[in-house]
Structure 1
Amino acid sequence: MSFKVTFIGAGSIGFTRGLLRDLLTVPEFGGIEVAFHDINARNLEMVTELCQRDIEANGLSIRIQATTDRRAALEGARYIFCTIRVGGLEAFSTDVNIPLRYGVDQCVGDTLCAGGIMYGQRGIPEMLNICRDIREMAEPNALLLNYANPMAMMTWACNQYGGVNTVGLCHGVQHGHRQIADAFGLKQEEVDIICAGINHQTWYVQIRHQGEDLTGKLLEAFESHPVFSRTEKVRIDMLRRFGYYSTESNGHLSEYVPWYRKRPDEIQEWIDMGSWINGETGGYLRVCTEGRSWFETDFPNWMNDPALEYKPEKRGHEHGTYIIEGLETGRVYRGHFNVVNNGIIANLPDDAVIEAPGYVDRNDIAMPTVGDLPLGCAAVCNVSISVQRLAVEAAVRGDDRLLRQAFMMDPLVGAVCNPKEIWQMVDEMLVAQEAWLPQYKEAIVSAKERLATGPLVPTRNYEGAARLRVKTVEEMRADRQAANKNAGESDKGEDREKVATPAD
């Protein structure tokens, strides 16, 4: 088979190397074209060198086309993986640190809440530029496989305004599926699930084993589990009160709803510090910072480590390469995909991007009708969808009033802040991220003036209820295997149940 796959944001070592391995594990794909693009030439060079070494070690003759020219990378592409993070870690740090001054304590801040909304403001305009280049340079009807967060907002914008067929992909459903099987003492393949909702708020509405529906027994199984009862307190409480388990991690879920992180003295009751993903303040920012520092420092040693093996048993569980395999070979694949709703989930809006079961074969991606979500689950999703819709429209129009309304409607921001605080927080974030927000040029001028002339709402220097220090390279060197895993994995919460040692 001969077709071209392009990676946009290829300097993301975790996603790029793993996805390439998974793609080239498919026997029929040994002669495809591969292009890498990134705006960071040094990161692009390192990742390309490492991936090219992997390719050659597996006996393939593919030569990666690596370029900082995005249009050249997209020329003739049939499939595009997108893993961009506009503003990088510099902008991401403001997503976490400025809201803390107002008492908004996020674990991740890349999907909803203050950080996720601003992440979308930076990412959506660039995603629309990518869509323009895809329309003009790629194969007709090319498929954009988006891994970039905020997943729902980015995928929504591409489908509504980008003119490119875009599917959003995430590994949250697979994680929860494994947990559910573990809670019952079963293997994952022995448990069948139906999961539906929106990205990071998808609900396991049916859990079956040998014909028996286990959904009603799940709460007891989690409450009595020796690990999950400690690490998944928010998810268990949501299960207790809504009747269904949610896909996303304890830390992520805690920042999407208004109940678990609004009072600093209560946050510790709902989180576990064994792994960042269980609720650590700014945890994802910390591990991403550590991972980037380690890869840049230790890269020469990576070239001396064994190459990745392109074998079926080594293949990962990200949906993207299985979708391409299904479309090209006709092998049927069942996964969970983020697409425009259009009636798939009856009691969520048609224009929203939902996450639901889908099937892939040579004919296309087929999304069966799910019907209604349970009312409580739908209510949780609909609150987030309102925030997403406001944020998408704000980013596309450069309308800071819509942006402020998105902040006000956000569950955790609204639980912690009053309107004056929200208005000022948005001003601060607009000014801090000016370099990545060209659509807000006029609004930023006004925000600077307000911040300079006052009067200002008092803020505080607050590190959050559960923050750990970023490890130095020397500290990471003490456990190179763990540091390599953090830097090299797309899913930095893979080992969330393992006990970690705090940095201080």
Structure 2
Amino acid sequence: MTTVCFVGAGSAEFTRQLLRDLLSYEDLTDASELTLVMHDIDPRRLRLAEGLARIAVERHGRPATVRVEADRRRALAGADFVINAVNIGGHAATVIDFEIPARYGLRQTIADTLGTGGVFRGLRTFGFLDELANDMRSVCPEAWLLNYTNPMAMNIQYLSLNHPDIRVLGLCHSVYWTVHDLCELVDVPLEQVQFHSAGVNHQAWILRWEHEGRSLYPLLDERIASDPQLRRRVRVDMYRRLGYYPTETSEHSSEYVPWYLHDPAEIERLRIPVGDYLQISQSNVDDIERLIPQVEAGHYSEPEEEAAEYAPQVIHSLVTGARRIIQVNVANAGLIPNLPAGSAVEVPCLLDGTGVHPQTVEALPPQCAALNQHFTSVVDLTVRAASEARPEFVRQALMCDPNTAATMSVDSIWRMADEMVTAHSALLPESLRARLLD
């Protein structure tokens, strides 16, 4: 029997896609009896998750059992795979992550990975990860934790440092969709290309991208040269200057470098949507409210896009033995030689019946590694702040953050951090609640 536990199952968009992809494998339930366990702390969202799962099982005609548990430890008991998609603090915390920095003149777009929003999202998630890891250690110690929750790099590094016995993979679809969209740009079928990517989550690099043994980068160069509007995108601008295409959207990518968001002219030139995730977050809340009555009536619209999420692929490979390579986020144990040991890195990973095998890659191009090292410095200080009870590391992480440092004075950074600590205090550990400038 294979038991998959969805933690934060009320994150309906992810849950719908993951259920669709998982139940699309005809041979999965042939190889093992499948149990889907739904868990969420919000009763309404838990009922929604239950409805989504039951409808999906019926729609796909798979012999799977659906179980619902409001208690996390009971939900985890006996799990083989735990999919984590929680958002600690929800939409209300996201609003704080944008509104307070905006008062200090700091512009953000997504604010879930690095910068002020990413740092505080990490700090309020780490305590939950401690609880989740402790529960897994007690009731499903051999399970794989498949993490989707951002900030991905911070969460994976925190777990690897503080709970090294927990088997964890960080999963993100950004590399897949980057290559998918690049192939559409140059009109080459995705299934005919070979690619190689490595770096850190949301700032990895397409190191090789080939069709029939030839690099597709020259075709991309021609496409960019012929389209002035395409050149008005952050990651196209980064690619033209760095020589390798970054694997996350322009909205995300603009936040991880010091070059764009502090400058109104660059925001205009590159059409950067400041505050974009505030609208996305509110839309997600609204979508759930629209979805609840649909599911209660016994139906909902299933995502139409092709299966692409990695968690179902991990489960399918480990249960059936199917061999495939995906991208994963794990601690750097010599996998990328010119990034810090122990930092969370994103690398190719072989999956098959023998297990999970992250692949060692060559040293990154020095310009790419330099940017990634800025990124990992912010991640490391944030993880250390919580792990070592060092509130000054929170401020120093923000001082090292590229976008924050390019925008604000050090005094403003510390004052903003104090205000953020006060606003999020209920979700932070006691050791990090101090205001250091009072």
The amino acid of 1:343's aligned partner reads G
> Secondary structure in 2 aligned to 1:175?
helix
Which residue does 2:11 correspond to in 1?
Answer: 12
Q: Is the 8 A contact 1:4 1:34 kept in 2?
A: yes
Q: Is the 8 A contact 2:378 2:400 kept in 1?
A: yes
Q: Is the 8 A contact 2:310 2:326 kept in 1?
A: yes
More deviation, 352-361/43-52: 43-52
Q: Is the 8 A contact 2:51 2:295 kept in 1?
A: no
Q: Is the 8 A contact 1:124 1:396 kept in 2?
A: no
C-alpha distance in structure 2 between counterparts of 1:20 and 1:377, whole Å? 36
Show the 5 A alignment for 1:398-417.
398-417=389-408
| Residue 324 of structure 1: how far off its partner (Å) | 1.0
The amino acid of 2:152's aligned partner reads M
> Secondary structure in 2 aligned to 1:348?
coil
Which residue does 1:134 correspond to in 2?
Answer: 136
Q: State whether structure 2 residue 26 is matched by structure 1 residue 27.
A: yes
C-alpha distance in structure 2 between counterparts of 1:94 and 1:174, whole Å? 31
| Residue 395 of structure 1: how far off its partner (Å) | 2.1
Gaps of at least 5 residues in structure 1 are 272-278, 451-504
Which residue does 2:99 correspond to in 1?
Answer: 97
Q: Over residues 376-418 of structure 1, what are the superposed CA-to-partner deviations in whole Å (9 max), with x where a residue is unaligned?
A: 0000000000000000111223321011100000000000111
> Secondary structure in 2 aligned to 1:126?
helix
1:227–1:324 distance in 2 versus 1, CA, 3 Å: farther
> Secondary structure in 1 aligned to 2:205?
strand
C-alpha distance in structure 2 between counterparts of 1:268 and 1:80, whole Å? 42
| Residue 6 of structure 1: how far off its partner (Å) | 0.5
Q: Over residues 159-216 of structure 1, what are the superposed CA-to-partner deviations in whole Å (9 max), with x where a residue is unaligned?
A: 2212311110111101110222122221111221111100010101111111112335
Which residue does 2:38 correspond to in 1?
Answer: 36
| Residue 280 of structure 1: how far off its partner (Å) | 1.6
> Secondary structure in 1 aligned to 2:245?
coil
> Secondary structure in 2 aligned to 1:398?
coil
Which residue does 1:242 correspond to in 2?
Answer: 242
TM-score, length of structure 2 as denominator length: 0.94
The amino acid of 1:291's aligned partner reads N
The amino acid of 2:281's aligned partner reads C
Show the 5 A alignment for 1:52-451.
52-138=54-140, 140-162=141-163, 163-225=165-227, 228-230=230-232, 233-271=233-271, 279-304=272-297, 306=299, 316-440=307-431, 442-444=433-435, 450=438
Q: Is the 8 A contact 1:219 1:236 kept in 2?
A: no
1:62–1:326 distance in 2 versus 1, CA, 3 Å: closer
1:223–1:38 distance in 2 versus 1, CA, 3 Å: farther
1:27–1:309 distance in 2 versus 1, CA, 3 Å: farther
More deviation, 67-76/393-402: 393-402
Q: Is the 8 A contact 1:340 1:353 kept in 2?
A: yes
Q: Over residues 352-371 of structure 1, what are the superposed CA-to-partner deviations in whole Å (9 max), with x where a residue is unaligned?
A: 11111111001112222211
C-alpha distance in structure 1 between counterparts of 2:51 and 2:216, whole Å? 48
The amino acid of 1:299's aligned partner reads I
| Residue 315 of structure 1: how far off its partner (Å) | 5.0
> Secondary structure in 2 aligned to 1:64?
strand
Q: Is the 8 A contact 2:28 2:320 kept in 1?
A: no
1:357–1:229 distance in 2 versus 1, CA, 3 Å: same
1:223–1:81 distance in 2 versus 1, CA, 3 Å: farther
Q: Is the 8 A contact 1:167 1:339 kept in 2?
A: yes
1:21–1:442 distance in 2 versus 1, CA, 3 Å: closer
> Secondary structure in 2 aligned to 1:229?
coil
Q: Is the 8 A contact 2:145 2:167 kept in 1?
A: yes
1:180–1:314 distance in 2 versus 1, CA, 3 Å: closer
Q: Over residues 106-146 of structure 1, what are the superposed CA-to-partner deviations in whole Å (9 max), with x where a residue is unaligned?
A: 110000011001100001121121011111111x3211000
1:396–1:68 distance in 2 versus 1, CA, 3 Å: farther
> Secondary structure in 1 aligned to 2:120?
helix
TM-score, length of structure 1 as denominator length: 0.82
| Residue 283 of structure 1: how far off its partner (Å) | 1.2
C-alpha distance in structure 1 between counterparts of 2:363 and 2:326, whole Å? 20
1:441–1:243 distance in 2 versus 1, CA, 3 Å: closer
The amino acid of 1:171's aligned partner reads H
| Residue 292 of structure 1: how far off its partner (Å) | 1.0
| Residue 304 of structure 1: how far off its partner (Å) | 4.6
The amino acid of 1:262's aligned partner reads H
The amino acid of 2:146's aligned partner reads L
Aligned length: 434
> Secondary structure in 2 aligned to 1:373?
coil
Q: Is the 8 A contact 1:6 1:37 kept in 2?
A: yes
Which residue does 1:3 correspond to in 2?
Answer: 2
> Secondary structure in 2 aligned to 1:296?
helix
The amino acid of 2:147's aligned partner reads N
> Secondary structure in 1 aligned to 2:267?
helix
1:441–1:258 distance in 2 versus 1, CA, 3 Å: closer
C-alpha distance in structure 2 between counterparts of 1:222 and 1:395, whole Å? 43
| Residue 288 of structure 1: how far off its partner (Å) | 1.9
C-alpha distance in structure 1 between counterparts of 2:312 and 2:106, whole Å? 37
| Residue 76 of structure 1: how far off its partner (Å) | 0.4
C-alpha distance in structure 2 between counterparts of 1:365 and 1:68, whole Å? 30
C-alpha distance in structure 1 between counterparts of 2:139 and 2:254, whole Å? 41
| Residue 253 of structure 1: how far off its partner (Å) | 0.4
Q: Over residues 62-111 of structure 1, what are the superposed CA-to-partner deviations in whole Å (9 max), with x where a residue is unaligned?
A: 34221221000000001100001110011111111111111111110000
The amino acid of 2:21's aligned partner reads D
Q: Is the 8 A contact 1:54 1:308 kept in 2?
A: no
User: Aligned residues: percent identity?
Assistant: 36
Which residue does 2:51 correspond to in 1?
Answer: 49
| Residue 222 of structure 1: how far off its partner (Å) | 2.7
| Residue 47 of structure 1: how far off its partner (Å) | 2.0
> Secondary structure in 1 aligned to 2:257?
coil
The amino acid of 2:358's aligned partner reads M
Which residue does 1:500 correspond to in 2?
Answer: none
